[in-house]
Structure 1
């Protein structure tokens, strides 16, 4: 059983479970390079048509492909872009061109925490589909059975308090029983304002700067130590 007061852990991906370089240097360029070919091949699929309509609604009067490429260049957290990227990445994961990168301490900790009865969730600006692909085709195998839920920008922006209030409501848990892990101080600020426990990940390879007011950890083993959770195996 879980000896801490926590009932759930909600984790970010980029800079938390996964090196920033994987997202920026592998996933994003893969989607950008494959964009036109994917739309040429799948442009009439109902799911893709719905995404294109959402792009038109977000960027009225702009060619959808130009809008998508502009958002890619801006690293915009726009739901239709994230949804389309998820579909493109799915093709790459399916044929083995992509494999989800994780820090080596992540999978052992997640297995231990799930085994202790903690509800594990993901909250990322990447789509739920993209989240499931990364953890389902990870370097440590298929980790999706460990997770209780997934949240993306459809529940709200990651720097807004209301998003974390909605996550707590969705989990039917008091906010204080939920730990949110992220490398981004502003996301942690919003989570703390909603009453969640927080921990800022300071991965050495990513060069994250400590906020000064959130607890910090260099890896998931240190998170476990801070919060009385199993360390993993």
Structure 2
């Protein structure tokens, strides 16, 4: 069996995805996203005049304009036309409704745009601070993070969700805040998770060679560019995650628990991950 963790390379950094990796997909799907859908209209009504809310609206408006421009230049005539966000000079109720329509459009299309994640992060901040939402992580996550830190490795988060949303989740878990154990956060501002260059940028920013990084994610479309960038990778199998194809199983090492990455109590990293 071929070990996945390179025994000839000193692993210095671990980068963790969130959804389906540290946290169940159901938490995002059944708690976080429904909260946005249920409370968006009321949130806009309550915070509309605030500078932060107007900043979020303007970012979404600019994204909607970009969507329209891309539609005009596209040869795909069947492409769905996105809703347009009205200007603030229009009827206030209609303008707010146009924001609601566009946000729901982005969510329905599973768009990973920064403007959407920014608004969601601000809404979730209110939910976490009032105790309406509590961050969830799998039980093997915190022990593994503490183990890596004890081995002088640094742990980072890289998620499509905004940095603010990441900090909210890890700052309000059932175990309390675990932000002290995380050295840094990255979101789509560094680049898309499906692009090789994103992982190179992260490596440069954290001062690690690409080969000294282990990236853990639940999807191969993110693992593949990280691997192409020269990082070590493993796909995490969690309840509710999409199953891997036979080809993906052959292509990538995979684990069901972070604890599989180290020998319990020995303080020595295990090259346990193998392509099965």
2:31 corresponds to 1:26:
yes
Partner of 2:48: 43
1:218 matched to 2:253: no
Offset of residue 65 of structure 1: 2.5
Q: Is the 8 A contact 1:100 1:139 kept in 2?
A: yes
In 2: Cα distance, 1:45 partner to 1:222 partner: 47
Note if contact 1:107-1:140 (Cα within 8 Å) is conserved in structure 2: no
Q: Distance in 2 between matches of 1:67 and 1:34?
A: 15
Aligned length: 227
Q: Deviation of residue 5 (structure 1)?
A: 1.2
**1:181: how far off?**
0.3
Answering whether residue 188 of structure 2 is matched by residue 150 of structure 1, we say no
Partners of 2:217 and 2:262 in 1: how far apart? 15
Asked if the contact 1:102–1:140 (Cα under 8 Å) also holds between the matched residues in 2, the reply is no
Which secondary structure state, in structure 1, belongs to the residue aligned with residue 226 of structure 2?
Answer: helix
How far off is 1:208 after superposition? Answer: 3.1
Contact 1:183 1:208 in 2 (8 A): no
Corresponding residue for 2:126?
91
Q: For 2:183, what is the secondary structure of its paired residue?
A: strand
Q: Tell me the distance in 2 between the aligned counterparts of 1:32 and 1:162.
A: 33
- Asked if the contact 1:204–1:218 (Cα under 8 Å) also holds between the matched residues in 2, the reply is no
Q: Runs of 4 or more off by more than 4 Å in structure 1? A: none
* 1:88-147 deviation per Cα after TM superposition (whole angstroms, max 9, x unaligned): 111111011111111111111111212221111000000000000100101222110001
Distance 1:21 1:41 in 2: 28
For 2:241 and 2:224, the matched residues in 1 are separated by 20
Q: Which runs of 5+ in 1 are unaligned?
A: none
- Equivalence map 1:36-185=2 (5 Å): 36-60=41-65, 62-63=84-85, 64-185=99-220
Q: TM-score, length-normalised on structure 1? A: 0.92
User: How far apart, in 2, do the equivalents of 1:158 and 1:198 lie?
Assistant: 13
Cα distance between partner residues in 2 of 1:79 and 1:34: 20
Q: Secondary structure at the match of 1:199?
A: strand
**Alignment match of 1:200 (pick from 221, 235, 251):** 235
> Bigger radius of gyration, 1 or 2?
2
- Unpaired runs of at least 5, structure 2: 1-6, 69-83, 86-98, 271-276
Q: Take 1:163 and 1:45, find their aligned partners in 2: how far apart are those partners?
A: 33
1:229 aligns with 2:234: no
Superposition deviation, residue 205 in structure 1:
4.0
Q: Is the 8 A contact 1:8 1:121 kept in 2?
A: yes
Residues of 2 paired with 1:57 and 1:204: CA distance?
A: 37
